Amino acid sequence: MFIAAFATLTAGFITTWHFRPYLRALLAHELGINSHQLAFVGACLSAICLASLGLLSRMILVKANVYNATESALFSNREVPGFVHQDRRSTPLLEFRQQIQEILRVDDVDSLSKVVALRHWVRCQQSEAKDTWVTERAIDHEDPHMLLQELRAGEPGACRRFSYTLLGALLAAGFDARFVVFASRLRRRRAFFHAVVEVWIEEMDQWVLLDPTYDCMILINGKMASAIELVLTVESGKASSIGFDRNGSVLKPDPSADFLNRCCRHLFLARSNAIFDGYGVRIIGPKRIDFLHFSPGGTRYPNDFKKTLIGVTVACAALTVAVWTLSLVAWILE
- How far apart CA 152 and CA 155 sit, in angstroms, is 8
Q: What is the pLDDT of residues 246-279, one digit of tens each?
A: 999 999 889 999 999 999 999 999 999 999 999 9
Interval 156-178: pLDDT, tens: 888 999 999 999 999 999 999 99
**Burial group, residue 155, by CB count within 10 angstroms (0-12, 13-18, 19+):** middle
C-alpha 288/C-alpha 57 separation (Å) is 20
Q: Give the CB-side neighbour count of residue 28, counting CA atoms within 13 A.
A: 12
Please provide the size of the chain in residues: 334
Helices (H) and strands (E) in the chain, counts: 11, 9
Q: What is the pLDDT of residue 19?
A: 53
Residue type, 298: G
In 10 A of CB 157, how many CB atoms? 20
Read off the pLDDT band of 317 (50, 70, 90). Answer: confident
Give φ, ψ of 42 to 5 degrees: -60, -40
Residues 6 or more apart in contact with residue 290 via CB below 8 angstroms = 64, 65, 66, 67, 82, 270, 271, 272
Helices 159-172 and 111-123: crossing angle in degrees, nearest 10, is 140
Distance, CA of 125 to CA of 102 (rounded, Å): 15
Average pLDDT over residues 65-73: 95
Cα–Cα distance between 130 and 123 in angstroms, integer? 14
| pLDDT at residue 4, as a whole number | 47
Q: What is the pTM of this model?
A: 0.86
Provide the Cα torsion 124, 128, 131, 137; round to 10°: 30
